Structure 1
Amino acid sequence: MSLPRHALPEPEVLAGLPPVRAVAPAEVAARTAKAPRLVVLDDDPTGTQTVKDIPVLTTWTVEDLRWALRQTSPAFFVLTNTRSLSPDDAAGRNRAIVRALNEASRAENIPYVIASRGDSTLRGHFPLETDVLAEELTRAGAAPDGVVLVPAYIEAGRLTVDSVHWMRTADGLLPVGESEFAKDATFGYTSSALPEWVEEKTKGRVPADKVLRITLTDLRTGGPAHVGERLRTLRDGATAVVDAVCDDDLRVLALAAAEAEETGTRLLYRVGPSFVRARAGQSAHPPLTTPELAALRAPSPHGLIVVGSHVSLTTRQLNRLREQTGDLTEYELDVAQLLDPARRDPHIHEIATAAAAALKTTDTVIRTSRTVITATDPDESLAISRNVSAALVETVRLITAARRPAFVVAKGGITSSDTATHGLEIRRAWARGTLLPGIVSLWQPVDGPAAGIPYIVFAGNVGGDDALADALALLRSAA
């Protein structure tokens, strides 16, 4: 498939599409009320950014999973953080979760269906994760008939049209294979057309011409019954890729999938954030209001902002935060020192001590140095990222042990995952909504030392240049 190697005006990409088929969230909620619980295995914590009042687990003991199954919500998230792991470790984690989930499901007598939540810019362990999940489901007697790939993230402008995945930029819609995310040191790729991307990532095991394409014409003209029929043709774990430009497209898919599942088709999903909201029967909720934030904010004067993401957008957001926020204290963890065993611990303790003291008088930023250090081997690059993230999280742990912040904002996928699980020791939480429309999630921890401290999960690759400054302004307005 020949694609432009530059951004195109969005109206040009979307020209000539069939009219949207409107589907009310309530219709999906009613149709899926007795459906198996949707369990979202989130490869970093930013998948919660489109939903409201959904449980989140950062651990996967049988008891934690039973707690989540007992809640009345139509879905829940399990934070796997596998995007930060080696392939072997990611596979092992997925296996462990499904085995514990099977036990919890039997104990509670509640069936489930799995969505493996990956990056809307196509980074992550695919097809490894869906392969492992399919193996484990097969082992449990529930072999998937098909894997349904739906990477769309509507608010962030990650749209799929005619099986081509696009991302919104200041210059228009760019084929995602031409973006900086496609050049990722660990998860890079070249294809923007999803069938070709599947062939590329499976190293030819799944040829592009064997991928089932569900287009906007199928969704909008054919509707749920037609799309359900197409999903029922999947056999032996075949792959389907699905277009989406708006939430209604995803709600049509949710109805179609429910119909297919009701008639015995077993589906495994690999999705971006937006499908979860559609499948849960939720609408796009407005951001949390100042009174709602005030009720969630901890009774401390100032908050902590943790920045680990190195994508250029995060750097621009950090620069704009400095420009727009005068009374802010900032500390840098120097990556070169963090990678030196002799200097690492003293450097962490020095920064943590200073930052804890600063929280008494100002909101405080902890960030890693902006120079990215990588290796020629993708696994080595990932190991460096893990090392730096571990140091950042240890710094957060020391800071919050010394002084309880009013809130914690974590910028970056790996950063926000590790900060939640290790820095703040969150096990169970509720995703209560967003600070900014559909892109910045606020968690309310319900256990551990962070209970009562709102935790803001902010992906590295979303929002405009002002987004970080806007998020802080909202949190300050609730003081």
Structure 2
Amino acid sequence: MKVSKDELFAKIPTADEAAVDAALAAERTGFDRKIIVLDDDPTGVQTVNGIHVYTDWSEESIAEGFAEKNAMFFILTNSRAFQAKQTGEEHWKIAERVAAEAKRTGKPFMLISRGDSTLRGHYPLETATLAHALEESGERIDGEVLMPFFKEGGRFTIDDVHYVQEGAELTPAGETEFARDKTFGYCASDLKEYIEEKTQGAFRAADVVSISLADLRAVRVDAIVSQLMAVTDFRKVVVNAVDYVDVKVFAIAMMRAMKAGKNFMFRTAAAWTKVIGGVADKPLLGRDELVVKGNKNGGLIIIGSHVKKTTEQFEKLRELKDVKFIEFHHLLVLDPPKLTEELKRVIAETEEAIRSGVTVAVYTGRERFDAGSEEESLRVAVQISDAITSIVHRLSVQPAFLIAKGGITSSDVGTKGLSVRRALVLGQVAPGIPVWQTGPESKFPGMSYIIFPGNVGAVETLRDVVAMLL
């Protein structure tokens, strides 16, 4: 049932954030862990800046990440586009390689599985696999923390219920379109019940540890540390949060528990990575930082996501008269000969417009493919993403800027279309909308690449970002 955000928030006590910041800074002393974030799509860097993202998990890339001066690095797995078997295999491989590099360097570490703030993805498979692989390598994992809070996207957890903001109202996550996802659907909005549902009863709701807003706002760090110290046997911990101060208080408690010898796995949205990684705030990026200097070509926008918010944002984008819209008939992936001709048409029209200085939006038709099974739906979604990504890969002209809309789409555009292996996160163009700077190995080196999640922003946000760049 929807509730008023203002009414619900009015009941939550305030906290002295300046005092919390000072305590957090003091607690960082002696907390010397390399933080590795496994991102199941490229939108997980939506709160950080000055951090590198690796698009493979070879021993070389992991060693490079460990050698960085930064405390944290990201590995883009894009596992939300994987079938379950591949997800398990690759996460086992990553955990083994991370553990081996930690032993080689003598560097303690922590792993974060950055997942969707609307609770979609391969959970609990990914974190369970990571934990089991680490334990095989000699690590002990006492528990798992779930924190899907993501302020920039309007995702809040109150009394263990996770909410998605829609206008002035908060909707329990289990009642949103995201819960009806063909591949990663669920029913529960209470995170304790969500855990029981997704683990098929292996972890019961009644056994989940809850970190309350009351304790967080009262800065009862010792009480929270006591809760964490009692966690064993991979027991689940749910963190309530409605603002960054809640995450900061929890970070103080978590660092204290880890210094005392506890070890945790993390399944969180992007807020936790920013706080635990000590990433400073940075102003939103502007046109001068995003458009290629001296490039008189048009920009390119790739729209692949089919969630309701993307469709609404796409309709608003159509208000811009200076953008040329080209529909890619995505269901032709089911007819390969016709698909080949369709891609030739789209690429030719796109290149002609970009060369003439016109910004192009290439979009998949809004009709969804209903395959029946979860596996088939995901397989076709990946085929569609591969097809639209090939448009970027085959471009012979560099656009002035590039935006990709949607999780799987933006990952494939970055890794397959632009051939990025290591990117620098410049910051955000709007709250929750990150920007990569492509590496020297990429198709267009040094270009700003805007990763626009399917489920983030107001109806006008895509239109406003594009208008700023024109």
Name the TM-score, length of structure 1 as normaliser.
0.94
Which residue in the other structure is 1:473 paired with?
467
Distance in 2 (alpha carbons) for counterparts of 1:201 and 1:428? 33
Q: Per-residue deviation at 1:354?
A: 1.7
Q: Describe how 1:181-192 pairs up with structure 2 within 5 A.
A: 181-192=178-189
Once the two structures are TM-superposed, the CA of residue 336 in structure 1 deviates from its matched residue by 2.2
Q: Give the gaps of 5 or more residues in structure 1.
A: none
Measure, in 1, the Cα distance between the counterparts of 2:391 and 2:339.
11
- Is 1:462 aligned to residue 456 of structure 2? yes
Where do residues 45-56 of structure 1 align in structure 2 (5 Å cutoff)?
45-56=42-53
Q: CA deviation at 1:371?
A: 0.3
C-alpha separation in 2, matches of 1:232 and 1:297: 53
Contiguous gaps of at least 5 residues in structure 2: none
Deviation at 1:301, TM superposition (A): 2.6
Note if contact 2:297-2:398 (Cα within 8 Å) is conserved in structure 1. Answer: no
What TM-score do you get using the length of structure 2 for normalisation?
0.95
Could you tell me whether the CA contact under 8 Å between 1:429 and 1:447 is conserved in 2? no
The residue identity in structure 1 corresponding to 2:433 is V
User: Which stretch shifts more, 278-287 or 261-270?
Assistant: 278-287
Q: Provide the rounded CA distance (Å) in 2 between the counterparts of 1:300 and 1:139.
A: 55
Aligned to 1:418: 412
Does the C-alpha gap of structure 1 residues 247 and 283 become closer, same or farther in structure 2, counting only changes over 3 Å? farther
Closer, same or farther: CA 25–343 of 1 in aligned 2, 3 Å:
farther
Partner of 1:282: 279
Matching residue of 1:387: 383
State the SS of the aligned residue for 2:12.
coil
Give the Cα separation in 2 of the matches to 1:302 and 1:139: 52
**1:195 equivalenced with 2:192 (yes/no):** yes
Q: Distance in 1 between matches of 2:22 and 2:104?
A: 30
Deviation at 1:11, TM superposition (A): 2.0
Match of 2:322 among 324, 327, 333: 327
AA matched with 2:208 = V
1:63 is matched with 60
Which of 242, 245, 260 does residue 245 from structure 1 map onto? 242
User: Does the CA contact (< 8 Å) of 2:5 and 2:168 recur in 1?
Assistant: no
1:69-109 CA-partner distances (Å, limit 9, x unpaired):
22222211110111111111111111121222223333443
129-138 or 70-79: bigger deviation? 70-79
Q: 1:466 to 1:107 in 2, by over 3 A?
A: same
1:331 Cα deviation (Å)?
1.4
The answer for the alignment partner of 1:308 in structure 2 is 304
CA contact (8 A) 2:45 2:270 kept: yes
**Matched positions, count:** 466
- The change in CA–CA distance for 1:44 and 1:25 in structure 2 (over 3 A counts) is farther
The reply on whether 1:453 has 2:450 as its aligned counterpart is no
1:344 — aligned with what? Answer: 339
Partner of 1:441: 434
Deviating more after overlay: 409-418 vs 66-75: 66-75
Q: Which aligned pairs between 1:80-229 and structure 2 lie closer than 5 A?
A: 80-229=77-226
CA RMSD for the aligned pairs?
Answer: 1.7
Which letter maps to 2:425?
Answer: A
Q: Relative to 1, partners in 2 of residues 1:68 and 1:30: Cα closer, same or farther, differing over 3 Å?
A: farther
Q: 1:66 to 1:26 in 2, by over 3 A?
A: farther
Letter in 2 for 1:311: V
Secondary structure class of the residue paired with 1:285? coil
- Range with bigger deviation, 412-421 or 18-27: 18-27
Cα distance between partner residues in 1 of 2:59 and 2:444: 22
Tell me the percent identity.
36
Q: Does the C-alpha gap of structure 1 residues 222 and 290 become closer, same or farther in structure 2, counting only changes over 3 Å?
A: same
